Structure 1
Amino acid sequence: MAEILKPVPVEDLKLTEKSDGSVNSTNESPAFLAEDPKLDRALLWRRDAVLIPIMGLLYMLLFLDRTNIANARALGIGKPNGLEMSLNMPSNGYNVALSIFYIPFVLAEVPANLILNLNKIRPGLFLGGQMLLLGILGMCQGLTRTYGGLLALRFLMGVFEASLPAGATYMISMYYTKRQAAVRFAWFFNFALLGPFFSGLLAYAIVNLEGVGGYEGWRWIFIIEGLMTVFISVFVILGCPNFPQHAQGWFLRAAERDRLIAQLEASRGAETKGSAVDTAVSVWKVLVDWRIHLFTAVFFCCDVTASSVAAFSPTILTELGWTATTAQLFTMPVWASGIVASFVVTWLASRLNRRAPFIFGCITLQLVGWIIMRVYAQPAGVRYLALFFMSMGTFPQMPLLMAWLSANLRGRKYLAVGMAWMVGFGNCANFVSSNVFITTERPRYPTGFSTGLGFTVLGLVLVTLGTGLLVLKNRRREAARAQMSDAERECYDEVYFKFVY
């Protein structure tokens, strides 16, 4: 029985990925590779029901813990018991507090994902344990009495959050075929958007806790949301499955695991077992791969808008005339529009198996939003509308870019480093957004709005360049294959696969 269930090397199988992401076997193969749509749907449903909610809740709470400082600040602008005055923050103190989080976050992303890839510590314990520590630190933000204490806590939060978003995207890349991944990245990313979506509602409710226990209202935002993170971390530790090749027990039986691995290999190559090609590749070779840096640069440009919306939309809405508590509620429709747009756009992209055209469309929406902000249209409702354009243009892009890079990488090491690099260095955009919205320039913020517009234009140029390079590479590949024998083509395809765009 063990021999029957042992996966056949992918080069010995004639497998093709069908439109629904399942695998069609066209040769004599073991029983677990026989066509069984019902079982394939059940396996897909099980992954969707277990992996995506766990990874999504993880990312949602991380995003919430990362952005709740914006809500805490907005509740107390100009008040002696607000965040800035309570901690005696300097004029640029809020910008520094945003920036210091991302220093360790960026530097630790790739090493953390390489450690996760070794699988010496199972993913649930590795990710959930760090989430537990992050929740404790987030809660302590509400207890600190000094500005220096806040900076120290946010630096440590960056240390423990570093591996979590990249680790979660790596897990999704390992469990889904190229075609399945785009929609799952959207589900995953939309969990993150639910964080700031509910954060506005939570901040609105928490304002009534002003003075309870001797704490200002803004402190309760950190305390309650930190406790939520600690609570959810327990479920991540206990429920997160291992990598596909090691999954077992309640999540996958042996035959199901082998069938899933065969499907993943049919889509991505023999990366799920750690193929010889993969293990022979050095980290440095991965780090100089142009695909990783190009897609990361596009993600960076997109994230300038995302981080600007996350960190400054409550402040901007307050300065448009709404009270601080009302502004918290008015952020919710902005996030909701991004969530709906992400589902619609990624579903269409997955259905049509195209990414670049939809990213071009999203960038166009971003440009409209930034242009409205830059010209500073006076009616508050017009600038509020601009936030919707920015949200609907930005948040569908991010899962599409993750799926696009993932689909164009082969091998566990490439995926581990590539996804970490994109999330880590892509998030360097927060250094930009946290320092270009200068307090003395409120409410027009010409530096902030001009910078956002400039990076969006740059993103458009980079997507155009990247798409052109992928098309050119594919044409050269097809020209080379046309001059080969069938046996040579088979060997060639194992090393040089077709890019998607």
Structure 2
Amino acid sequence: MAEPSFDEKNDQHVAASVVDSDAPGNAELDKRILWRRDLVLVPLLGTMYMVMFLDRTNIANARIEGLEAGLNMPSNGYNVALSVFYVPFVLFEVPSNLVLSLPWVKPRWYLGTMVVLLGIVAMCQGLTASYGGLLATRFIAGIFESTLPAAATYIMSTYYTKKEGAVRFAWFFNFALAGPMFSGLLAYGLVRGLDGHGGYEGWRWIFIIEGLMTVVFGCIVLVATPNFPEKAQNWFLKAHERERLLVLLEQSRGREGNNDTEGLEDVPAWKVFLDWRVQLFTLAFFCCDVTASSVSAFSPTIISELGYVSTTAQLLTMPVWASGIIASFTVVYIATRANKRWMFVLGSILVQIAGWSILKAWPSTIGVRYLTFNLRGRKYLAVGMAWCTGFGNAANFVSANMFIKTERPRYPSGISVGLSFCCIGFALVSFITALLVRLNKRRELKLGSLSEEERAVRADKGFKFVL
């Protein structure tokens, strides 16, 4: 057998010593590892989410450019087209993440294939000749897209500690907001530049070009997506960097083999579904997501009905999403510095409630209407995150049918439904916070009854909820 090279010996030596968290030079190593992750994971997965969200919401831009008339859609056809897209989100997200968590599945092949297929089907929306064809392509696109949000957040969660994760997830989700923010500008340019070319109306080119962009980016995902941390490629993390990262992640989440988490990797999926934390957080997300999903699906329509022509309405959707990006970064930054979560979540829901209330009170004023627009273990992360985003996205079934044509331009029922779900979400988050505070206090009382030696041993084993 060949003698290991000097570099290989050095890597092995560093990998063996890197478990000492106080070793000299680890601070510099930690910064380098964090920089590597930030440079690759956040832009790559964030852009994937942005492109995916663009394909999800561009139907709203196509609608005000003649989609309904072009396919002779019935009066409720747009609502049905929105709804059918989200059926796969409930059915496929959990199985998808379970497949991704299998040891022989490589994230780059899985995600890249899904993105390419999504782009091909998205293009077909612009080529369909009938309303039935649109529904079929929307459903198939929903299958491929349903695999991506939970998978991307799952991969992100395996690479970042709790302290690091908040800001990175804010970046990740704000990439998604950038999709619909620029979709209006992109739709504006495509319709003005390509309407009538090749015999296709402008709304068709919106689907075709944005779908083609997705295919191209899918090829990048096939090449550039890293494996999970323990098997990360050498171009991404060297051997000693992988070992050090695994130590940091273990310190952040607690040892997977302790008494509180033993056997989590073998826990059946149905036990995750019965976990009250998963279900309560999912319900809260469902209620709060009604607002976001209704804005993405109907803001171009509502803005156009304020009296603006379609091209102007496309551009006026941009400030709506830009304000969301600025607000989310601000809230996450302050919450991270304060190491508090619940008060900012409740505060954000109150802003939603205020917006719906303003629309309810002053629906006819154009200026006002425009203005308003903790789990552990790989199996728990895979199933819990997929269920939360999958069932949470079922909020789109509600938002897709909130704004009915016969009620335009005031949409009283839609505004009332949105306001009601925000109030329910506020109550749920308040209830969850109270429960977690009680469980943390109970844990502290148990630890307080122990000797100092026992407390030192048990403190690392009990799971303390981050509020």
| Structure 2: distance between partners of 1:66 and 1:205 | 19
| Structure 1: distance between partners of 2:421 and 2:117 | 34
Picking from 216, 220, 228, the partner of 1:243 is 228
| Structure 1: distance between partners of 2:257 and 2:331 | 28
Deviation at 1:6, TM superposition (A): 6.2
CA 1:438/1:155 → structure 2, altered by over 3 Å: closer, same or farther?
Answer: same
Q: Quote the sequence identity (%).
A: 60
Q: Which residue of structure 2 aligns with residue 315 of structure 1?
A: 301
Q: Which residue of structure 2 aligns with residue 296 of structure 1?
A: 282
Does residue 140 in structure 1 map to residue 124 in structure 2? yes
Q: Which residue of structure 2 aligns with residue 391 of structure 1?
A: none
- 1:129-180 CA-to-partner distances (Å, cap 9, x unmatched) read 1000000000010000011111111111111111100000011111111111
Q: Which residue of structure 1 aligns with residue 41 of structure 2?
A: 51
| Structure 2: distance between partners of 1:482 and 1:354 | 24
Gaps in structure 1 of 5+ consecutive residues: 9-24, 76-81, 388-407
CA 1:216/1:278 → structure 2, altered by over 3 Å: closer, same or farther?
Answer: same
Report how many aligned residue pairs link the two structures.
Answer: 455
| Structure 2: distance between partners of 1:248 and 1:53 | 18
Q: Which residue of structure 1 aligns with residue 77 of structure 2?
A: 93
Question: Contact 1:33/1:259 (CA < 8 Å) preserved in 2?
Answer: no
| Structure 2: distance between partners of 1:368 and 1:284 | 38
Q: Which residue of structure 2 aligns with residue 334 of structure 1?
A: 320
Structure 1 length normalisation: TM-score? 0.87
Q: Which residue of structure 2 aligns with residue 190 of structure 1?
A: 174
| Structure 1: distance between partners of 2:38 and 2:257 | 19
Question: Contact 1:183/1:350 (CA < 8 Å) preserved in 2?
Answer: yes
Picking from 200, 222, 237, the partner of 2:184 is 200
Deviation at 1:35, TM superposition (A): 5.4
Picking from 177, 202, 206, the partner of 1:217 is 202
Q: Which residue of structure 1 aligns with residue 53 of structure 2?
A: 63
Matches within 5 A, 1:334-483: 334-387=320-373, 408-483=374-449
Question: Contact 2:266/2:379 (CA < 8 Å) preserved in 1?
Answer: no
Which AA in structure 2 matches 1:51? L
3-state SS of paired residue (2:233): coil
Q: Which residue of structure 1 aligns with residue 239 of structure 2?
A: 254
Question: Contact 1:5/1:32 (CA < 8 Å) preserved in 2?
Answer: no
Question: Contact 1:248/1:257 (CA < 8 Å) preserved in 2?
Answer: no
Question: Contact 1:244/1:272 (CA < 8 Å) preserved in 2?
Answer: no
| Structure 2: distance between partners of 1:379 and 1:97 | 30
Which AA in structure 2 matches 1:254? A
Q: CA RMSD in A?
A: 2.0
Does residue 39 in structure 1 map to residue 29 in structure 2? yes
3-state SS of paired residue (2:126): coil
Deviation at 1:344, TM superposition (A): 1.1
CA 1:248/1:272 → structure 2, altered by over 3 Å: closer, same or farther?
Answer: farther
| Structure 1: distance between partners of 2:415 and 2:16 | 54
Q: Which residue of structure 1 aligns with residue 6 of structure 2?
A: none
Question: Contact 1:264/1:272 (CA < 8 Å) preserved in 2?
Answer: no
Does residue 305 in structure 1 map to residue 291 in structure 2? yes
Q: Which residue of structure 2 aligns with residue 264 of structure 1?
A: 249
Question: Contact 1:272/1:412 (CA < 8 Å) preserved in 2?
Answer: no
| Structure 1: distance between partners of 2:262 and 2:227 | 22
| Structure 2: distance between partners of 1:128 and 1:493 | 42
Which AA in structure 2 matches 1:360? L
Which AA in structure 1 matches 2:175? F
CA 1:239/1:271 → structure 2, altered by over 3 Å: closer, same or farther?
Answer: farther
Question: Contact 1:269/1:411 (CA < 8 Å) preserved in 2?
Answer: no
Question: Contact 2:265/2:379 (CA < 8 Å) preserved in 1?
Answer: yes
Deviation at 1:297, TM superposition (A): 1.1
Deviation at 1:4, TM superposition (A): 5.4
Moved more, 452-461 or 355-364: 355-364
Deviation at 1:493, TM superposition (A): 4.3
Which AA in structure 1 matches 2:401? N
- 1:70-108 CA-to-partner distances (Å, cap 9, x unmatched) read 000012xxxxxx211221211111000000011112210
| Structure 2: distance between partners of 1:458 and 1:34 | 51
Question: Contact 1:174/1:272 (CA < 8 Å) preserved in 2?
Answer: no
Moved more, 35-44 or 434-443: 35-44
Which AA in structure 2 matches 1:116? L
Structure 2 length normalisation: TM-score? 0.93
Gaps in structure 2 of 5+ consecutive residues: 1-8
Picking from 106, 113, 119, the partner of 2:97 is 113
CA 1:175/1:206 → structure 2, altered by over 3 Å: closer, same or farther?
Answer: same
Which AA in structure 1 matches 2:317? T
CA 1:461/1:258 → structure 2, altered by over 3 Å: closer, same or farther?
Answer: same
CA 1:161/1:271 → structure 2, altered by over 3 Å: closer, same or farther?
Answer: farther
Deviation at 1:372, TM superposition (A): 1.4
| Structure 2: distance between partners of 1:119 and 1:214 | 48
| Structure 1: distance between partners of 2:337 and 2:21 | 30
Which AA in structure 1 matches 2:228? F
Q: Which residue of structure 2 aligns with residue 282 of structure 1?
A: 268
Moved more, 280-289 or 48-57: 280-289
